[in-house]
Amino acid sequence: MKIVVTGGAGFIGSHIADAYIERGHEVRVIDNCSTGSERNLNKKVSFYPLDILDPKIPEVLSKISPDVFCHHAAQMDVRRSVADRQFDAQINILGLIYLLEASKGAGGNRVIFGSSEGAIYGEQERVPATEDHATRPTSPYGVSKLAGEHYLSYYEQTHGIPYVALRYSKVYGPRELSTGEAGVVAIFIGKLLSGEGPTIHGDGKQTRDYVYVGDLVEANILALETELRGPVNIGTGRETDVLTLVSLLKENTGSKLSAVHGPAKVGEQMRSSLDSSHAARKLGGVPRTPLEAGLENTLAYYRQRTSA
């Protein structure tokens, strides 16, 4: 198949592009590299260094005539979404609409959408959450991702563009940015390897369901090969608080540095974990990599980059 991966030079998108290429698909990547990097790109992809709101997008998509859109270009920083709600909506909502409008006449007949890290559920009444859990986002980021799912449902009903929205829990692994605010595992590793104590926002008791990027890639492969539609949780169902995460990373790095506590993030959830039983039934696979093993793989990657 011909597949367009938006955000395909980024942390998650580049891993997905690699996996699609390994399976013999033709992959085109659209990315403005605002957070991604060309060094993440597989040599076999065709790369279009464009923003998803670029006026050239409709012409480019018309020429490609893709079979599938795998949409992972996004504004992913919860704190930035709170500080700049218009920017968040422009990328995550208007950017998606622009692509869907362009895709109507470009041949794209299926969308795989990288949805939120559990942010659309808000403070969970049930942990882990299933797909029928109430959606009450506590941040503009969560609102924009939920709006994206609603727009995808609209375009499926009115224009016949089928979609699956993979609702990711907290993704981590090689290629995640160790700068900025979005990738806590990479940020903590970067601090520890550089001899600095990591900063924990709040008391550190907030929990997340950490899913290794390799398991996420498998979900995107299975989504490509099945007819599953609508929202699907991709998580481990296991909660890990920030204090435990720091402890595991300190143990693996041999660091004796103490963490520093800073103010809690505005709009941050206290607990988040996703039930993937629907994915197990419909996709035939769920995340299986234990956190400890995933952290070891991620640390090995950053140690190699540091020594290079």
Q: Which amino acid is at 271?
A: R
Annotated catalytic residue: which of 20, 48, 121, 141? 141
Clarify whether 141 is annotated catalytic: yes
Cα separation, 143 vs 137, in Å, equals 6
Integer distance in angstroms from the first to the last C-alpha of the chain? 36
Cβ neighbour number for residue 176 with a 10 Å cutoff: 23
Cα separation, 270 vs 80, in Å, equals 18
Return the structure tokens found at 55.
Answer: 């006026």
Q: Which amino acid is at 59?
A: E
Q: What is the 3-state secondary structure (H, E, C) of 43-72?
A: CCCEEECCCCCCCCHHHHHHHHCCCEEEEC
Q: Which residues are catalytic?
A: 141
